[in-house]
Chain A
Amino acid sequence: MVTSDIYKNEYDVIIVGGGATGAGTARDCALRGLKTLLVERNDYSTGATGRNHGLMHSGARYAVTDSESASECISENMTLRRIARHCVEETDGLFITLPEDDLDYQKTFVEACQRAGIRADIIDPAEARSIEPSVNPDLIGAVRIPDAAIDPFRLTVANLLDARLHGADTLNYHEVEGLVMNQNRVEGVKLFNKLSGEHIEVRGRVVVNAAGIWGQRIAQMAGANISMFPARGALLIFGHRVNKMVINRCRKPANADILVPDDTVCVIGTTSDRIPIETVDDMRVTREEVDVLLNEGIKLAPSLATTRVIRAYAGVRPLVASDDDPSGRSISRGIVCLDHAKRDGVEGFITITGGKMMTYRLMAEIATNAVCAKLGNTAPCVTANQPLPGSEEGAPNQSDMTKRYSFGERAAIGRHGSLAARIEKDNDIDNALVCECEGVTVGEIKYAVHQLHVHNLVNLRRRTRVGMGTCQGKLCSCRAASLLGELHHDVRRAQKDLADFLDERWKGMRPVAWGDTLREAQLTAAIYEGLCGLDMAVSNQGKEDKQ
C-alpha cells in the first residue's frame, strides 16, 4: 500500500516501535484479524533488538536469580526453534567454571535450571574441551545447556513480513511526535515522516507503546509516567567464529561473561552500566568498555586475545521500575504490560516493555491480549505454533542444505530460509557477489529492496548482512550503493548514502581501531577519499544544494 493511503486509514491498533516486540505485536494483532499499523522512527530493529548478543537464551543465565524469567526463556526458546528456524542456529551452550570461580555454584545453578525446566547436564571438563575446542582449557567444571544463536534482524523482519501478509501496514522512518488525544483517550498518533518531511495524524482505536527505552517519552505524551532505568551494555564483534557453542561463565552474572557464535562472527558481551535516560541515544563505546570486554572475554576463550576485533557497539536495556516500588531499587527484567486506563486513567493506550528480545513473542502475546480485551476481539493467539515466513515446514535450512546450491545461494538460504526461493538467480549478474565477506548476491539485494523495506544501505545491511563482514563495507558498499542508485533512480542520494554508510561503519570500528582493523579502515579511507574523492563529492553536493 502506498504511504499516502496508509495516512488516510483508521486502524484498530497502532503499534509504536519497530523492534522485535513491536513487530511481534503487529504480527499477533494482524493474525487475530485486527487492522494494524506499526510505526518506527528509524529503521526496524535499530534499538535494543539489534544491539545485543544475538543469544537465544536457554534461561539458564537467569535460573538462579529470576526463575520466572528463566521459565519464560526456555519456553520461548523451544517455541522459536519451531517457528523461527531460519533465524536460529542450534548451537547449545556451556556454563564453565574457572579455577577462580566457586565450583559449589555449579550445583546451585544446575538445581535452579532443573526447577525452571531447563536441561542442564554437567559434563567433564575434558569433554567440554573436546566439544568446544576454543574454551579456556583451565576450566574445572562445565554444564551443557540449550542456548542457541538467533539473528534479531531476521527475526524482526520475518514478523513484519507475516504481519503484512495478514494485512498490517508498517512504516519506518516515521517518528511519533505526539499522540492524538481526546480528553483522556488516545485516538491515534501524530507522525513526522523523516524521509519526506511531512507531518501527519493517523487514527487508531488503541495505541501500543512498544518503543523500548524510548517508551518513557511516548508514555509522557499521554501524561503517563513510567520510570525506565536504562542499563547500557557494550559488546565486541570478532572477525570470525572462534567458538561453535555459546560459552557462559557459571557464576553470578557479571561483565563480558557470554561469548556467542553469531553467523560468521562471534560476539563477546556485555558490560552493564546504569546511564541517565537523557544519554540513551549516545551509543559510543569507550576505551574502558573495550578493555573490560577483552580482559574478561579471554577468560572464556583465550584465543580472543589474538583474534581480530572488527567492531564495537552498545545497546540499552529497557529496564523498568516495578510499580509498587517507584524508587527504582527493585528493577524487573521481567515483562511489564501496563494498561494505562487502569493505571493512569488514559484510555486506549497500552505499554509493553521490560522483558528481553528472547521473549518478544510472549510480550507480543500479552500486549495483543490486552488490545483484544479492549476491542472485544476473542480470537486466540496462534503465534507460538505458526511458523514465520521463511521457516515453514520443509524449508531448507543451513544444516541440511546440500552442495547443489552455489555459495551465494547457501548464504541466502541461511539468511532468508524458504524465502530465498524468491531471490533471482538465473543469470550471472544476479548471482554476482556484491558483498564477498558475507556472500550477498545482486539478486538478494534486489529482493531486499523490493520486499523488505530498504531505503538506504544501513537498512540493506540489517536485511542482508551487506557490509557486516571483515572489510566492514569496503568492497561491497560502493557496489550496493550503485545498485540502490539504479533501483531508486537517484544517483545523488546513493552517493550521500554511501558516505553516510561508511561513516556509520567507521563509528563501530573506531573504538577497536588498531592492528588489522586499523589497516582495513585506512585502506577504506584511501580508496574512498584518496582515490575516489567521495568526501569532496558529497560536500560539493551540499554546496550545490545551498546555491
Chain B
Amino acid sequence: MADQMQLCNISESNFEQCTKCSICTTVCPVAAVTTDYPGPKQAGPDGERYRLKDPAYYDKALKLCLNCKRCEVACPSGVHIADIIQKARMRSSEGHRASLRDTMLANTDLLGTVANLVAPVANATLGLAPTKLVMDSVMAIDKHRTFPAYSRQKFTTWFKRHAAKQQDDFGQHVSYFHGCYVNYNFPKLGQDLVKLLNAVGYGVHLLDKEQCCGVALIANGLYKQAKRQARVNADSIRKSVNTDHRTVLTTSSSCTFNLRDEYPAVLDVDTSDVRDSIMLATRFIYNLVDEEKIKLIFKQDYKRRMAYHTACHMQRMGWQLYSIELLRMIPGLDLVVLEQDCCGISGTYGFKKENYERSQEIGSVLFKHIADAQVQAVTTDCETCKWQIEMSTGLPVENPISVLADALDVEATRQANNIN
C-alpha cells in the first residue's frame, strides 16, 4: 500500500523530481559567465526547499536568471526549473512596485502606441547620443542599446485598410497573434505572413482582442497586469479556436511559448484546452507541406547564404526543426544551422544597464559562430534575438517567414495551389 501510494511525487513544477545531477547548471548561460548567479539547480529546486521553510531565504541573485529555459530542456527529470525561479521571483515581488524603467520596458504595447504616433521623432530621439545618455544614467537602460525603430503605421491599421476585406475569399482560415513587435515596429513581418498564407489559400484574421502577450511584464515583475492581459488573450484565442475553428498562428517564438506554457505555469491562466491550436506559423506551414496539402514554389534566381539561430524559447518548444526544414525547401538558400547558444539579450534583460556586459558576454560564443559562418544574414524566430544579433554582429537578421516570403514565387505558388 505504502509504496503504491508513493508511486509518483506530485510537487509544484516537479521540483521533487530533481536528482541534483546538475546538468541544468552546466547549460545555464548565466552561470557560465558569472559566479554571482548560483545556477538553476541552486536557484530553483534547492532554493525552493529553503523558501518553503521561510520566504526570507529568497535570494536576490534569482533576478539574474534569463528565463531562457535551457535548464528545462536539459533536465532529464522533467523539472520545470525556470518556472520555479520565475514563481519565486513573483512571490518575492508581491507588495513591491516595479521601477519606472522596468515598467517602461515591460509595457511594449503602451510604449508602441505612443511611439507609432510620433515614429520619426521617436526613432530619431531614441537614437540620439544625449537621449541614450539620459536613459543610461536616469533610467539605467544601457547606452549601447538601440531601441528597435518604430513604424509609422501599425500592422493592424495596415491590415484593416489593405488586407482584411480579401481574407474572407479564401477557403481556409487562421487567426494571427501578431504581437507587439509586428504591430509597432515591424509590420512587414505580418505582411509577409499574410502574403505567404494567402498564396497557399489561407485567409488571415486578427483576434477579437489582442493584447501584449506579457512576456516582458512577467520578466519585469508586473504580474497582475500580465495576468489581466493573459485572460483577455486566452478568451480571444478560445473564441478563435472553439467558435471560428481557426488555429492561432504566431511569428514570435517567445510570444508563442508564453501563450502556450507560461500562462498556465507562471500566471495560473489555464490555456491547456487550446494549447495545441496555438502555434508558430513555420510549424503550421511545414505540416501543410508535409501532408501535401499545399505546395510552395520558390524563385529560380533566389540566391543567399544565411545562418539559422535557434532562439532559447524555440529550443524549449523543440520547434526549430520546422523552421529549419521549411527554410531548406528554398533551393537558392545556403543555410548554416548554428549551434544552440543563447544570444544573451533575453527580451528586456539585456537592455538593463546592470545586465549589459553579462548579456554581451553570454552572447559572445554565438557571435563568434556567426562570424565564422561567413553568411550574408541571420534568420531566427525571435525578435529580441534579432536586435541583439544585429547590434552585436552588424549582420541583418530576418524572421524565417520573411525569408520564405522573400524567396517565394507568389504567382507560381498560387497556381500550384489552385488559387485564383
A interface residues (Cβ-Cβ under 8 A, vs B): 239-241, 261, 263-265, 290-291, 294-295, 298, 303, 305-309, 398-399, 401, 403, 406-407, 410-411, 428, 433, 436-437, 439, 469-471, 474-475, 514-516, 519-520, 523
Contacts and interface: CB of A to CB of B under 8 A. Distances in A.
A475 B22 contact: yes
A437 B20 contact: yes
Given A407-B38, A436-B46, A519 B19 contact: yes
A516 B9 contact: yes
A305 B5 contact: yes
- Listed from nearest, the 9 A-B pairs whose CB atoms lie closest are A471-B20, A306-B10, A294-B2, A291-B2, A407-B59, A264-B49, A240-B49, A305-B5, A308-B16
Contacts of B191: none
Nearest to B52: A241
Nearest to A431: B35
Interface in B37-70: 38, 41-42, 45-50, 52-54, 56-61
Nearest to A403: B60
Contact of A290 (B2, B8, B11, B58): B2
Nearest to A435: B46
B125 to A, nearest CB: 38
A381 B77 CA distance: 55
A135 to B, nearest CB: 16
A340 B185 CA distance: 91
Contacts of B118: none
Contacts of A308: 9, 11, 16
Contacts of B35: 428
11 contacts: A241-B52, A305-B5, A403-B58, A436-B38, A439-B50, A470-B18, A470-B20, A470-B45, A470-B46, A474-B20, A519-B19
B329 interface: no
A238 to B, nearest CB: 9
A469 B5 contact: no
B20 A264 contact: no
Given A306-B10, A307-B9, A407-B47, A291 B1 contact: yes
Interface of B: 1-3, 5-11, 15-22, 35, 38, 41-42, 45-50, 52-54, 56-61, 77
Contact of B3 (A307, A471, A514): A514
A19 to B, nearest CB: 26
Nearest to A240: B49
Contacts of B48: 240
Contact of A298 (B5, B9, B11, B56): B5
B19 A433 contact: no
B20 A410 contact: no
A240 B52 CA distance: 8
Given A433-B38, A514-B3, A514-B6, 5 more contacts: A241-B49, A241-B53, A265-B49, A474-B20, A523-B21
A398 B42 contact: no
Nearest to A291: B2
B5 A306 contact: yes
B54 A398 contact: yes
Contacts of A469: 46, 49
Contacts of A475: 20, 22
A520 B59 contact: no
A437 B46 contact: yes
A89 to B, nearest CB: 9
A432 B296 CA distance: 56
A461 B187 CA distance: 61
A407 B57 contact: yes
B2 A295 contact: yes
A291 to B, nearest CB: 4
Given A407-B47, A407-B57, A436-B46, A294 B6 contact: yes
B56 A398 contact: yes
Given A241-B49, A294-B6, A523 B54 contact: no
Contacts of A474: 19-20
B70 to A, nearest CB: 19
Contacts of B41: 436
A436 B42 contact: yes
A515 B6 contact: yes
A360 B233 CA distance: 62
Contacts of B54: 398-399
A309 B9 CA distance: 9
Contacts of B22: 475
Chain A CB within 10 A, most for which of B6, B15, B52: B6
Contacts of B8: 306, 515
A410 B60 CA distance: 13
A64 B329 CA distance: 81
B49 A239 contact: yes
A411 to B, nearest CB: 7
A523 B47 contact: no
B31 to A, nearest CB: 12
Contacts of A410: 56-57
Nearest to A523: B19
Given A403-B60, A436-B20, A515 B9 contact: yes
Nearest to B50: A264
Contact of A437 (B17, B38, B49): B49
Contacts of B3: 514
Given A264-B49, A295-B2, A433-B38, A307 B16 contact: yes
B42 to A, nearest CB: 5
A519 B16 CA distance: 12
Contact of B53 (A263, A428, A470): A263
Contacts of A411: 50, 57
Contacts of A294: 2, 5-6
B410 to A, nearest CB: 55
A240 B6 contact: no
B418 to A, nearest CB: 55
A401 B50 contact: no
B56 A399 contact: yes
Contacts of B18: 470
Contacts of A401: 56
Contacts of A305: 5-6
A239 B16 contact: yes
Nearest to B14: A516
Contacts of A303: 10
Contacts of B53: 241, 261, 263-264
Given A264-B49, A516-B17, A520-B19, A309 B56 contact: no
B102 to A, nearest CB: 19
B8 to A, nearest CB: 6
A307 B56 contact: no
